[in-house]
Amino acid sequence: MLAFPQSAAADTTLTPLPDSPSGSVLVKSPSGDAKCAIAVDPHLHVLCGLNPSFPVPDWVDCRPLQAVDVTVSPNGDLEYGCGGNGFGLNADPAWFQELEFGTTYEASGWSITPINDGITFTNNATGHGMTFTPRAVTAF
């Protein structure tokens, strides 16, 4: 398994991201392959949509929806689900902020760092989070 950075560097300036009209902060990787939403609710979860070919656990069955998502809590707990519509992942593409390499962002208490074809989310209070790519999800 690949190792990913676990937190933003202490001296990194964080670029704030605005909320979208959906009420969540919507982001996509520079490649456009990863789309995620940061909830602006008391639970402060991050949710990312998975493509149909993503290797999910055997117990996840979203038929007939076929839309699978993964959520990470501020404590680094992963949860797989079906749909993702509640966070706005099916929102207007113009609402998504395209992340740029070399910039670390901040939204709702999360540091957000784009990587090759994905995004690393680190909760600023706990240091936990996940790295999400179209091929793998790693919690820390």
Among all chains, which residue has been given the structure tokens 């998502």?
69
Locate the domains of the chain by residue range: 20-139
Banded pLDDT at 6 (limits 50, 70, 90): very low
Cis peptide before 64 (omega within 30 of 0): yes
Per-residue pLDDT tens over the stretch 70-105? 889 999 999 887 765 555 567 788 888 999 999 999
| CB of 37 closer than 8 Å to CB of 88 | yes
| CB of 134 closer than 8 Å to CB of 60 | no
